[in-house]
Amino acid sequence: MKKVLIIAYYFVPNSGAGVQRPLKFAKYLPDFGYTPIICCPNAKFMRNKKDDSLLKDIPPSAKVYNTFLLDLNWLFKLLYGLKLHSLVRWINNVLLFPAYQLQWIPFLKIKLAKIFRKERIDAVLITVPPHSNLVISKWIKKRYNVPIIFDFRDPFTFNLELKDQKAIDKRFLFEKSILNNADFVVTVTQTMKKKMEEGFKTKKISVISNGYDADDFPINDNLTKKKNSPLTISYIGKTYGEYTTMPFLEALNNIKNKLNEIEVRYIGNFTKNELDFISNNALEQIVKLIPYCSHDEAIAYNQESDVLLLVIANDKWKYNVTGKIFEYIRSGKPILAIIPEDGDAAKILNETATANLIVSPSKLKANPKILLSALNQTLNYSPNEDAIAKYSRKELTRELARIIDSLT
């Protein structure tokens, strides 16, 4: 079989959304005639939570090459503790632009030289973020002249959170120059694809969304038919910065005395603002906090729920399609979505008919009773199974294999 080298900064046994995409590509590429060769930092050097249950998805034919790493998150923890936030920003945005993980590149080069000596690599997939991974593409192209695919899980230049025009211009120049090293570009949403096509005048770009792995869900789906008393609503994942569930919590606080009996489960890691809001507004009687857990346990909580909560907290984040949405649509549970109504995530929920409610954060803020009506009514759920099936990891890997076929 031909060999595909996957360069991924985040890989198992690290946990989190960033590892799922390269892991599932690696899992299913052998089904389409490709042996995955993965190059990633050794997880023991990284300040990330670990989930050994994910290791089972690495196929027997795959090879994983680990590198040394100096994870600057250990330094950043110290600097944040000393209130040296500006120094952290300088390291990220100036010293190690385009991302602090740029310091991995020297260790990566050493390992790649070994890999190319031992393996006959037919194509390279570089998955980002961190976008510093893209820097290695010029070196690979010059030395080995193999087809390279860039896999953008998140935007870089066209990140709607960016407000500093100088920072945007700097990113644009970097990204425009680095795209010349790619034989093909993959993004996860249509909006990202459109922005990159318009901004960089490139047509060698396609969309392969994130997805769900059917193997992660129980064969016996009796749990999907189970109803709880009280009604159980679950949010599963991690929040940070502005990516929070505050629009839901604020609406819940507004209507809490008018609700039928419900239990809201927050499963994962949450921001101080959210935790303080829950405590300060006596929402502990409704909201149950459950610590961060393994992916297998998260799927179990998913299946035990009556309703799954999805929040994209800003009306402007139309390109944002969180990885959890795909496991949500496969769950057999209706989704309560507080997201941009004309965004990419809403299009997926409408296509798959999996949402009981889709409402924008601003509209919910203006009228919290929308949430009350949704929670107190009878749940109607008639999903489009054919539409859902398109988002299986195996089918999505088939699309990647077709792209590799065209380049090799």
Fold of 2-211+392-407: Rossmann fold (3.40.50)
pLDDT at 163: 81
Q: What does the block give as tokens for 110?
A: 């050493």
> Strands across the sheet with 63-67, in order?
63-67, 34-41, 2-7, 123-128, 148-152, 184-187, 205-207
pLDDT at 223: 46
Q: What is the C-alpha radius of gyration for the chain, rounded to an integer number of angstroms? A: 22
Q: Which sign does the torsion angle of CA 288, 289, 294, 298 carry?
A: positive
CA 52-321-91 angle, 5° bins = 70
- Give the residue among 195, 198, 201 at the shortest CA–CA distance from 159: 195
The SS3 of residue 351 is: helix
Does the domain formed by 214-389 have CATH 3.20.20.60? no
331 near 246, Cβ under 8 Å? Answer: no
Q: What is the C-alpha to C-alpha distance for residues 289 and 294, in angstroms, rounded to an integer? A: 15
Whether the bond between 247 and the residue before it is cis, its omega within 30 degrees of 0, is no
Query: How is residue 91 annotated by DSSP?
Result: I
pLDDT tens-digit profile, the chain (408 residues): 999 999 999 999 999 889 999 999 999 999 999 999 999 999 999 988 999 999 999 999 999 999 999 999 989 999 999 999 999 999 998 999 999 999 999 999 999 999 999 999 999 999 999 999 999 999 999 999 999 999 999 999 998 777 889 999 999 999 999 999 999 999 999 999 999 999 999 889 999 999 999 999 875 454 445 566 789 999 999 998 889 999 999 999 999 998 888 999 999 999 999 999 999 999 999 999 999 899 999 999 999 999 999 999 999 998 899 989 999 999 999 999 999 999 999 999 999 999 999 999 999 999 999 999 888 876 778 999 999 999 999 999 999 999 999 999
Locate the domains of the chain by residue range: 2-211+392-407, 214-389
Asked if the domains 2-211+392-407 and 214-389 are classified in one and the same CATH topology, the answer is: yes
- Give the residue among 20, 39, 8 at the shortest CA–CA distance from 295: 20
Exposed / middle / buried, residue 87 (Cβ in 10 Å: 0-12, 13-18, 19+): middle
Q: Which sign does the torsion angle of CA 340, 345, 348, 354 carry?
A: negative
pLDDT at 226: 54
